[in-house]
With several copies, the nearest count.
Chain A
Amino acid sequence: MTKKVHPYIPNMVPKVKEEMLKVIGVENSMELYSCIPEELQLQEEMNIPKALTEYELRRHIEGLLKKNISTNDYINFLGAGCWQHFVPAVCDEINQRSEFLTAYAGEPYEDHGRFQSLFEYQSLLAELVDMDVVNVPTFDWGQAAATSIRMAARINGRKKVLIAATVAPERTKIIANYGSPELEFSNIAFDLDTGLMDLDDLKSKISNEVAAIYFENPSYLGFIESQGNEISVIAKEHDVLLVVGVDPISLGVLAPPSHYGADIVCGDLQPLGMHMNYSGGQAGFIATRDEETFINEFPSRLFGIVPTIKEGEYGFGDVAYERTSFAQREKGKESVGTQTALWGITAGVYLSLLGPEGMYELGQTIMQNSQYTVKKLNKIAGIQGSRIVSPFFKEFIVDFNDTGISVQTINEMLLEKKIFGGKDLSKEFPEYGQCALFCVTEVHTKEDMDCLIEALEDIVTK
């Protein structure tokens, strides 16, 4: 039997193949591999299942996916670095456009639309964080933070880094990995009840050898770090650069870190129009002032605007390209490659849709909903709605210690009631005992929240 021509491989057609081989001047296509020594040629067939037709493939994959239970099936209160937010349909329409989906690294001429939309993304996010410079997106918050810190260290030539102990442990790992072996990290203690940074500890650790202080706002634990100005003052006293990580969706209502002295701001774009995708929606950003010393330390691409030879027309190009590893290999600033450009475009669409009022209203809704949940939780005997007394944005630590039930058990019971409970913090923050990090956003209806309350009441009183 002759081999079937695969729909993805047009030149499997025997006649065409022969014609091409003739042009090349070989008898069969395996001859083209004669440069590969026999000992390196794979002899056995790979143990991979036989090809499926499109329909079979669809049944197969959909069959696998049916085994999942999604946040569309159950009510979800998990956050902790990946959050469930409302995604406007226009965001999906744009990022599914075949043109954007399949473009890559084209030139300003054939990819004008890609350049413009990423320039616009930079510009929109710049307004949200109220800083002048934003890069083409990087991998995720963790890596953006790592790079922000490395940038700071390059700028002031120092090696020590102070990190708030409330930073997400996952991100701390990424930061440490990107920072080692060059940088030296220490934690800054925090107050268990307020979550706030222990300024005395900060003062005791800061010195003229410190390159940067890094903290997050809203913090991983959900509370709002209100000492931004104080921290900034301490940092400036030692010419330490202040790097602040931020959840951009909070910035309709919360002051952006630039307002309390941050030199470099980073964070994750996922909340701004990306579905969670089992963590496929993450994307990092870095923002700075328009200062040459800062711009020259970005490893990432920065698109800038340029006029064309035609009046009234403009194009775009790479700003200060020479600093990148694309231009300079190991002499470039860190490394650049394929990161998360499509999410940048999407975040731009998102911000264009919501506008200033939308961002404000969204922040407000989130705060109202999350406060409502905490208030109701407080009414349940044995549960403290928020272990931390400081104001919070969308996440908060629910304290189950007095219920005598472990978070794990509670979450198992919630699962039975079709609820994904908060993230168990007992390993990451054992000092809190049986606490869980819950996330409430604008996607939660009152019914959703009440459903959680009822379920927990049930669990606790049973």
Chain B
Amino acid sequence: MKPIIRTEATRDFHQAKWNEPIIFELHQEGEKGVEVPLANEEVVSTIGDGVSTIPASMSRKNRPNLPEIGQARVLRHYLRLSQETLGSDFNVEIGQGTCTMKYIPKINELLIRNPKMMDLHPLQEESTVQGMLEIIHNLDLCMREISGMGAFSFQPGGGTQALFAMASIVRKYHETRGEGDQRDEIITTIFSHPSQAATAVVKGYKVITLHPDENGFPDIEKLKGVVSERTAGFVVANPEDTGIFNSKIKEFTKIVHEAGGICYYDQANANGLLGITRAKEAGFDMCFFNLHKTFAAPHMCGGPATGALGVTEALKEYLPGPIVEYDGVKYSLNDNLQHSIGKVRAFHGVAQTILRSYAWIRALGPDGLREVAQTAVLNNNYLYHKVQKIRGASAPYVKGQRLEQVRYSWEQMASETGITTEDVQRRMTDFGLHYWTSHHPYIVPQPFTLEPTESYSKTDLDEYINALQQISDEAYNNPEIVKNAPYNSTIHQLVEEDYLDNPEKWCITWRMYQKKVLKPVLIK
């Protein structure tokens, strides 16, 4: 036998492709996916059909037009669709920078499926959920250590909602002090998640956006120029999307505090900072962590998730309630917070995610958390070093000083070959890899953002780098390959027309597709 030698630098990959119809196309009248429980015979004989009590105006006239499909076929359909989805468990998921796609420990998934967790009702008597409350409280204690904050709420259902909750606290705080109307501006930066600005507006604020200086740092002079008695709050991430750590962060918070504003910290991604530096020392009044990023809760196609919201002792009374407290004997829910903003999400938030993150922290311990941060930074700097060597790629702004991620640019390659970052994105799929450009607006031209986290080995990183290298080679030598990608994905290129933006054409549901596309054809 000739030895099997794999010389290809990139993976010989093909994604599963099942060409599954839309679920409605599987309809077969009379089939059934599951039998629901029917009322006991005695119940029926006592009560009758149950539905005739419904007032005529409220009785549904015909059955909803759902498909009828046998159980095996429903299962097969969704299983096939699952194989057509590139979860982070399956690839070297470092191309979705800012999202902290780290390893999701399987033990945690097993723990959350415990009926003692899954089958708890949020209004149960405190005495019957002591274990759950203890977990929440323990996570709170850990989070306080990690951030230096004084209390946490796990109610927000993601980073965006945590940002919203913080903006709400900013408002409530100033209102409480009689400055609610006067302070109507929130300052943010352009290299931040769009939700920072967006949630401030939801809360009625005017948004002031700082642009970076030529080195990529938020511009301290500009900040000084915009703070005033109208400043309600300042929200920033550090590092921002560029991965550059702003070493003057404490000066920033000082300036804002001096103007009477609240400083709140977007630590959705704090992966390079665990045990290294904290919100408190940097002068923040509040911060949040995305448990589904730094703290290893899975992303689940986009939630449910948790934005763990921490505040200083002084702001504790503003938190959404209830929060968990412990008197040394018993855990309880405190819903009597004097200035509480009320609620942002039903009941207690996403308990599974709370449990997962607590489990993750306990699996690492304090040393492990520091190792997470250091390795994430090591991995990122390794990538940073290598990616810059790829023809056509660069990392704008200051040299070095990148922590857990970097925003790169294909500007040069695009201008030399016409291959854009979107082309690269499609081509990466052919190697079984995920690649994301960046948030809009593209301040960095032709951007892409890589964040390797601590979860990937050097071999994994090299695989990713090789794929980028190969695409660069293709772009310079045979750009059509890249232009026409993907080839090994579940589907080919979408037709570039206005199907998604033209109200005449867009189809958000199958019934719209039937009305707009199928019916006209059938009539003809």
Contacts and interface: CB of A to CB of B under 8 A. Distances in A.
Complex contact flag A–B (Cβ < 8 Å)? yes
A14 B82 contact: no
B490 interface: yes
B178 to A, nearest CB: 15
B37 A365 contact: yes
B337 to A, nearest CB: 12
B34 A371 contact: no
A1 interface: no
Contacts of B130: 67-68
Contacts of B123: 78, 80, 82, 423
A42 B275 contact: yes
A255 B59 contact: yes
Contacts of A326: 194, 439-440
Contacts of A10: 28, 31, 70, 72-73, 455-458
Given A69-B128, A98-B90, A278-B122, A7 B51 contact: no
Contacts of B440: 326-329
A255 B57 contact: yes
A241 B55 CA distance: 24
B334 interface: no
Contact of B51 (A35, A67, A139, A253): A253
B429 A109 contact: yes
A316 B87 CA distance: 18
A209 interface: no
A256 B58 CA distance: 8
Interface in B65-96: 65-75, 77-90, 93, 96
Interface in B150-181: 157-161, 163-164, 168, 171, 180
A111 B86 contact: yes
A44 B323 CA distance: 28
Nearest to B498: A306
A45 B146 CA distance: 10
B32 interface: yes
Interface in B112-155: 112-125, 127-132, 134-135, 141-142, 145-146
B302 A341 contact: yes
A54 B300 contact: no
A458 interface: no
B5 A11 contact: no
Interface string A131-152: 0111011011111000000100
B351 interface: yes
B326 interface: no
A122 B513 CA distance: 12
B304 A97 contact: no
A208 interface: no
A51 B490 contact: no
B15 interface: yes
A382 interface: no
Interface in A274-294: 275-283, 290, 292
Interface in A1-47: 3-17, 19-21, 23-26, 29-30, 32-33, 35-37, 39-42, 45-47
A48 B145 contact: yes
A35 to B, nearest CB: 4
Chain B interface, >50% SS class: loop
A431 interface: no
A130 interface: yes
A112 B109 CA distance: 24
Contacts of A113: 80-85, 490
Given A36-B247, A109-B489, A335-B164, A8 B87 contact: no
A336 interface: yes
Closest 10 CB pairs of A and B: A337-B160, A51-B365, A353-B33, A113-B84, A279-B347, A67-B131, A13-B30, A341-B302, A356-B63, A325-B198
B508 A122 contact: yes
23 contacts: A12-B375, A37-B247, A48-B366, A64-B131, A67-B131, A68-B117, A70-B120, A81-B347, A82-B347, A97-B82, A101-B109, A117-B78, A132-B515, A275-B118, A278-B129, A281-B304, A282-B304, A304-B500, A307-B499, A309-B493, A310-B492, A312-B5, A357-B32
B1 interface: yes
Interface stretch (A88-96, A184-192, A199-207, A397-405): A88-96
A9 B375 contact: yes
B29 A13 contact: yes
Contacts of A71: 119-121, 124
Interface residues of A, number: 225
Interface string B366-377: 111101101101
Interface string A344-373: 010011011111111111111111110110
Contact of A362 (B36, B82, B366, B491): B36
Given A334-B198, A349-B78, A446-B40, A278 B121 contact: yes
Contact of A23 (B33, B299, B301, B385): B385
Contacts of B204: 180-182
Interface residues of B, number: 231
A359 B118 contact: no
Max chain B Cβ within 10 angstroms of own Cβ: one of A94, A99, A142, A275: A99
B199 interface: yes
Nearest to A414: B125
Given A112-B490, A330-B198, A364-B49, A20 B382 contact: yes
A166 to B, nearest CB: 15
Interface string B22-60: 111000111111111111101110111111011101111
Max chain B Cβ within 10 angstroms of own Cβ: one of A50, A100, A136, A348: A100
B182 interface: no
Given A104-B302, A330-B198, A352-B66, A367 B426 contact: no
B353 A280 contact: yes
A433 B225 CA distance: 58
Nearest to A60: B362
B105 interface: yes
Nearest to B23: A120
Given A66-B131, A312-B4, A442 B365 contact: no
A57 B290 CA distance: 22
A417 interface: no
A432 interface: no
A302 interface: yes
Interface stretch (B276-284, B309-317, B411-419): B276-284
Given A82-B122, A171-B346, A338-B158, 12 more contacts: A6-B364, A6-B371, A95-B300, A107-B434, A128-B66, A139-B303, A180-B203, A260-B58, A290-B512, A313-B12, A375-B47, A446-B40
